[in-house]
């Protein structure tokens, strides 16, 4: 058991070390920036970009531009339509479920009535048989 826990701890350490090495060597490059542009760290350039206008909201600067925004809007619209259909399906299901429950209750009551009628018939047959036996005994005496 101790050997198994040691092996598990070593494997976990190797995995953790491997992920940290991979994280250090992997570079993040956004899709809308090229590798030749460098980011300025001075506050003066950051202030000048703010005074020039909000460049980040320009559709041509956004990845994919207006086509991407239109695609997202179409997906949103499709999602709304599907949610509306889901609401219709749920109301239809609730209606069918209530019909099912009422039919199930009616079926249960009908089955109960059938069993009661069969029991009465069986009791009457038994009583009729007993009466015949008693009548035959009286005749034989």
Average pLDDT over residues 94-122: 96
**Of 51, 35, 32, residue with least CA distance to 43:** 51
Instruction: Please report, rounded to a whole number, the percentage of residues in the chain having pLDDT higher than 90.
Output: 43
**Chain centroid to CA 100: how far?**
24
pLDDT in tens, 21-70: 565 565 555 555 555 555 554 444 444 444 555 445 555 555 667 888 89
pLDDT for res 66: 83
3-state secondary structure of 54: coil
pLDDT for res 64: 64
Q: What gap in Å lies between CA 98 and CA 91, rounded to an integer?
A: 11
Average pLDDT, the chain: 78
Q: Are 1 and 8 in contact (CB under 8 A)?
A: no
pLDDT for res 56: 54
Tokens 């101790």 — which residue?
Answer: 2
């Amino acid at each position: 058991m101790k050997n198994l826990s040691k092996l598990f701890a070593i494997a976990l350490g190797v995995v953790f070390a491997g992920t940290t090495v991979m994280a250090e060597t992997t570079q993040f490059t956004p899709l809308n920036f090229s590798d030749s542009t460098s980011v300025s760290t001075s506050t003066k350039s950051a202030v000048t970009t703010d005074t020039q206008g909000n460049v980040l909201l320009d559709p041509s600067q956004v990845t994919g531009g207006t086509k991407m925004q239109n695609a997202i809007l179409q997906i949103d619209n499709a999602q709304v339509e599907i949610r509306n259909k889901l609401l219709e399906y749920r109301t239809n299901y609730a209606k069918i479920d209530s019909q099912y429950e009422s039919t199930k209750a009616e079926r249960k009551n009908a089955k109960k009535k059938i069993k009661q009628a069969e029991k009465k018939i069986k009791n009457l047959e038994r009583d009729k048989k007993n009466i015949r036996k008693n009548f035959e005994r009286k005749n034989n005496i």
